[in-house]
Structure 1
Amino acid sequence: MKLTVFGATGGIGGHVVRQALDAGHEVTAVVRDPSRLGIDSDGDGRLEVVRADLTDARSLGAALAGRDAVLSGLGARSRKDAGVAARLTRTVLDAMEAAEVRRLVVVSAAPVGPEPDDGFLDRGMRAIVSTVLRDVYDDLRAMEAALAGSATDWTVVRPPRLQDKPLTGRYRTVVGGFPPRGRFIGRADVAHAMLALTGDPGAVKQGVGVAY
């Protein structure tokens, strides 16, 4: 497939780029600072790095034209960045509509989705985290609302607490819900799930919980 990746220098986006190239896909990585990508070349011309203004939908046209799907790891890296996920995703949606690209897979977070039936302790911890990071999760809820109101064939991937661990390919996914007692997942495995779900028609217009 021909894929465009937003947030390509982030913790998940970087894994998406590398795994997509390893799988033989053609990848356009949209970045603000190419030096942060950490990939100079894939060796056979399947990687294109595009520096673009993510606040201007018109500047994204060349990065989206003719692509089969878009994967996005855009989101706030801290509470002070809250608002960036919804704002930049709206720009991506406008650019996708102009380029007539429909398939979109994005990262959100487990507390934004339905609450799993995990018992009192897990519900309590979920409530505490949601309160502490309220601004970040409100941003993600606004992002998901923008997706739901769009014409794209979107999928939202909702991981719990993220870890820096090697790719395992062994994790659980629940379409429309969340894996029971799923507390952690590695960023590399979130990227793996995003790529797998890109070609899954059963995940279109759905939130998908993913966890170990």
Structure 2
Amino acid sequence: MKITVFGATGGVGGHVVRQALDAGHQVTAVVRDAARFDLEHPSLAVRTVPDLAALTELDPCDAVLSGVGPRGRKEGLVATTATRGILRAMAAAGVRRIVVVSAAPVGPPPEDETFLNRRLLLPVVGAVLRDVYADLTAMEEELRSSGVEWTAVRPPKLTDKPVTGEYRRVIGGSPRGGYSISRADTAHAVLAALDDPATIRRAVGVAY
């Protein structure tokens, strides 16, 4: 499959690129600064796009994967504006499938979530990172109104542990008591959703 990966220099996006190549896909990695991306592979092309909000075209591909998101609380609507540009370019190219990385607090907690998580941990995290989650919420709204075949993968706290392929996944919700997942396993979940029709137009919660 031909895949275009946005946010390829990010923590999750970099793993997406490497895992996609290992799986035999042809990958176009879209980056803002090519100097920050040093991976080379026969099935990899690198495209520099400084401003995704101004994106108008895609390289030929079957699907888009995006790890674009804010790196801090005060960056503004980074994911939202980038996704608008990506969706515009997808429409022009006739590409229908997109999987993005969002975050667990964008959705409601599980109905059987622990009291500690529901009443203390989740509200505190949501308050501290309010601007980040507002951006990701708006990004998901853009996807829902676009008509494309989207999936939003929602991880909790991200770590730098290696890929295991062993994590819990809940389509349309979040795993109970899900505190963390590695960036590598989040990338694994993004690629797993790509060919899973059950995830189309759904959010997917992932966690250990």
Could you tell which deviates more after superposition, 29-38 or 173-182?
A: 29-38
3-state SS, counterpart of residue 92 of structure 2: helix
3-state SS, counterpart of residue 203 of structure 2: strand
Q: Which residue of 1 aligns with 2:22?
A: 22
Counterpart Cα distance in 2 of 1:62 and 1:190: 24
The 8 Å contact of residues 62 and 95 in structure 2, kept in 1 or not, is answered as yes
Question: Residue 62 of structure 1: CA displacement?
Answer: 4.0
Counterpart Cα distance in 2 of 1:190 and 1:35: 25
Stretches of 4+ moved more than 2 A in 1? Answer: none
Which of 94, 113, 122 aligns to 2:117? It is 122
Stretches of structure 1 lacking an aligned partner (at least 5 in a row): none
Cα distance per residue 1:14-57 (max 9 Å; x no partner):
00000000111000000111121230x21xx2100001131212
1:111 to 2:111 alignment: no
Q: Which residue of 1 aligns with 2:169?
A: 173
Aligned length: 205
Q: Which residue of 1 aligns with 2:84?
A: 90
Which of 48, 55, 59 aligns to 1:57? It is 55
Which of 156, 159, 164 aligns to 1:160? It is 156
- The CA RMSD measured in Å over matched residues stands at 0.9
Identity of aligned residues (%): 59
Counterpart Cα distance in 2 of 1:35 and 1:16: 19
Could you tell which deviates more after superposition, 47-56 or 92-101?
A: 47-56
Q: Which amino acid aligns with 1:118?
A: E
Q: Which amino acid aligns with 1:122?
A: N
TM-score (norm 1): 0.94
Q: Which amino acid aligns with 2:145?
A: G
